[in-house]
Amino acid sequence: MIKPIELVIFDCDGVLVDSERIAARVQVLLGAELGWPLSEGEVVKRFIGRSSASISAQVAERLGEETAVLWRERFEQLHREAVDAGLAPVEGLPEALDAITLPTCVASSGSHEKMRHTLGRTGLYGRFAGRIYSATEVAHGKPAPDLFLHAARQMGVDPAACAVVEDSRPGVQAARAAGMRAFGYAGGLTAAEQLEGSDTLVFHDMRDLPALLAGVAA
């Protein structure tokens, strides 16, 4: 028997805040600056949805540990500057949150410091304060299920009763691995076909999410 949805777990970057475009732009810039030329498509495939540790490991393998440390430091600096210059919630997200009546939380590959900054800049932090979880709290980041299982435990909800809203391939893979239903938001950088899979509903407009959740939860 399929359990009704009791908890909606939101990714942060690209789902709540429109920061993935900023991150991709900065990663392309850093690649050109530090010796690993990358297109936006390559950045999406390699980095989007993954933790800082995972990205650093890829850079270290390619360019060495010293460059990986510099890359991470430069990314954090440039990303913060770009966020301060202009970051907005994902289009339609505030309206969607207003219409969702189920309990919610956030589970992101980003650090707590990063989420306080991005969610704070967009006025969303207060909506989730006390219910925000980071990949820094678990052994393995997405596409492993650890983070989503951790969020479910902290919220006291059976994983089978959780729905995850994600915009990256590693994210939907992590949700499926956790035994949760995935809602793949294809309004960002990741193409819809990269989000498709079992127990996954792909959608393009965040304003449609409340009705989609209600239809599944019923």
Active-site annotation holder among 11, 13, 18, 167 = 11
* In contact, 112 and 132? CB cutoff 8 Å: yes
Active site residue 98: no
Residues annotated as catalytic (active site), given as ranges: 11
